Structure 1
Amino acid sequence: MSFTKIDHYEKEYVDHHHDSALSVTEGVADQPIVNPYFVRKKKHRLSTEEYVKGILEGNITTLSQAITLIESSNPDHYAQAQEIIERCLPHAGRSVRIGITGVPGAGKSTFIEAIGNMVTSLRHKLAVLAIDPSSERSGGSILGDKTRMESISANPDVFIRPSPSAGSLGGVARKTRETIVLCEAAGFDVIFIETVGVGQSETAVHSMVDLFMLLQISGAGDELQGIKRGIMEMADLMVITKADGENIHKAELAKTQFQSALQLFPLPESEWRPRVYTCSAVSGAGLEEVWKGVEEFLDHTQGNGFFRHNRNRQNKYWMYETIDETLKNSFYRDPRIEAEISVLEGQVLDDKISSFIAAKRLLDLYFGGKAE
């Protein structure tokens, strides 16, 4: 920005004394912000064949682009995304899906980083789908989980994909299940789904994983807290984190309390009695025992047939979820609905009609008759 000459009482003095410190040198003219010779090249859009080929070859860049396409809310991307998923399905399903959740501050990312290093040392390929909470005000997410997992982010056997929750309930993102399919097709045989910090009722992740792991911290509750319904009774493994230093005794006490509380639950359909472990992601203590517990759970459920039964039940559940989502999107994109919804919304705000009547009229309009 160019400077102007001094325009106050010192001006007369400066005009006669050019060596004065008050003298200001004229600046240069403003330079263009953008290079006038720059030409933006149109990015090559991959075909469905190129997407599928790259995914099956384990190309991380192509996998990331395909996930972005699936997560897109652009209607133009929907058809291609569905075709990619359909063509990857025959190559999916050969992994262990583990949901990892817990209270905020339980150290989920640190735990995943520590146990992830151990998992890859056992010659597994690990995909981490980290769900970050979106702001209710701005709609944005920090997506900082990959930064937290510094030691495994550069590991060629690890793929980390942070995604915003974008208003989805249950601690997962809108397209997490489709992302799992693509990661499995790319050759990842262990999938971690790290949810947002959850409360008692956020349990949607349970409907897409083989094993549900709940991280707890010592001092976060007693036996009464442990027997509350909701997320506690869905856990297959419970891990008390940060069991190091002066906190070891508190962690062992919490382990005993939760073990006692879990005995009060009826035996789940898997016939697996949930277990409680303690571990330290910093020192590595207890991590081997936790992973051994994972392997014992998988052996148990695969042996009694529950593993396949659970997968089939989840597939049925997500069939209906897909129907619900497709109908919802089709409803709001209908030109008739778009033209009428703002009018009825205004009448609701002015208390001219009830919200129930407004919804009924929109549904009648959409279905071309009386909506039941």
Structure 2
Amino acid sequence: MKIMIELEEAKELVLERIHPVETEYVSIIDAYHRVLAQDVTSQIAMPPFARSPLDGYAYLATASDSQPLQLKIVSEIPAGTWSEREIFSGEAAKIFTGAPIPPGANCVVRKEDTESALDKVTILRPVLPGSNVVPQGEEIKEGDILLRRGFYLTPPAVGLLAAVGCDHVNVYRRPRVGLLSTGTELMDVGQPLQPAKIYNSNSYTLRGMLQVAGYEVTVIPIVSDQIDDTLEALRRVAATDIVISTGGASVGDYDIMRHALTQFGCEMLFWKINLKPGTPASVGQKGKQLLFSLSGNPAAAMVTFELLVRPALRKLAGHSAVEAEKFLVKMASGFRKPGKQRRFLRAQGVLKDGEIWADLAPAQGSGILRSMIGSHLLVDVPANHGAVEPGELLRAEWIANWEN
């Protein structure tokens, strides 16, 4: 087992052991927030015919049409109907938004630019050939690849599938995640707080983060600092793909999580990552299952989840983009506390004059859950950097919700 390694090595050790889960063929009704397991090709063009984008009159225009132009109305085409009546010179079809352009017509003039009486229409402002016509296949051509494997299916993406008549897709199944909160000091909410106890928050924050990402979650809310209890809890989530535990990760007499993982039959990949917050994280592997032991401090658990666990889950779920993009931010506020270790600071992202500014949360302690509320960024401060000054440029990544 490696001890005190860099974040990049920790991610490499984890990601090289992960392969996407199995696939399944589902209705698009069940495809929201799933990840495509194969490219999707359109079987039709979009739109499937040349159509009108507005209410008006379709006719055969020339560049030399007189103004005003009087035409005979020979047909009417509501949306959803098809007219085989060809439009010749001197004729027009009354047409409505979304209706197909009739044969012979090459333009549509807005109703507002016309005057009509009985079967005649006067075009006050004639248009050029091709005006106000949405051509067949303007958005999508038959045979185009709509969405590629690894794409996260948002509601607009599912709507696009429906628009081309695709009713089923091949997706990766939802990863199954077991979630444990360990610590004899923990109590669940809904009961009076006892002396020397604290309420368990990690189960709620991490559960929410997992559910928002589309994973199936099995929660063991509170596990005592006893090896036997911990082993029993691990057995209860043995069927999951990944296990995340919080608490019992450090060096104290009651920090037993990595010892429990060893007794559970795990090969321990590492213990401790050279960063703050979240140094005492460890990862074990048993068969195909990976087990992450994170700090019990709420902010540290969330930061380590973002940096280490989320990339692992994204690869497991079949995402095309596994790791968050890094980018430069300008510091709107400073951080005076120097440190030997690499540090990730929580900050609100503010767009100003075309640049992203990082406004740090007022308190950056590993146990301060409130620092995560309203924070969009993790700002990467290198080891031995010294104080962070306002206006300084540092690298950062988004917190959560960076789906395709």
What is the TM-score of this pair, normalised by structure 1?
0.26
Higher strand share: 2
> Larger Rg: 1 or 2?
2
- The structure showing larger relative contact order (alpha-carbon pairs under 8 Å, at least 6 residues apart) is 2
What is the TM-score of this pair, normalised by structure 2?
0.25
Higher helix share: 1
